Amino acid sequence: MTALEIQLNSELFGALKTISSDEGLMKKAVRSLKRIAAQKAKTEDTLSLEEIVRQGEEEIAKGNFQSVAIDDLWK
């Protein structure tokens, strides 16, 4: 765990400790964290265009591709 991660964890738990006595605020915090986690999971499941291009370039560099005649692209 990096120093930044330790600091962020400390800030997160400090903020949770501050609101822990208020049930309504804790529910809001939990809902927000669940929403953030769901967004992260969604983005991790979707490859970015840059990632697709990078993977393609790696495959080409390894020689893992089949050449296609230009005329076959319009069939």
pLDDT digits 0-9 by tens, 2-38: 999 999 999 999 999 999 999 999 999 999 999 999 8
Report the percent of the chain where pLDDT is more than 90. 48
Mean pLDDT of 44-59: 81
What gap in Å lies between CA 26 and CA 23, rounded to an integer? 5
Under 8 Å between Cβ of 29 and 16: yes
Judged by DSSP in three states, 59 sits in: helix
Check whether 47 has a pLDDT greater than 80. no
> How high is the pLDDT of residue 75?
63
How confident is the model at residue 22, as a pLDDT? 94
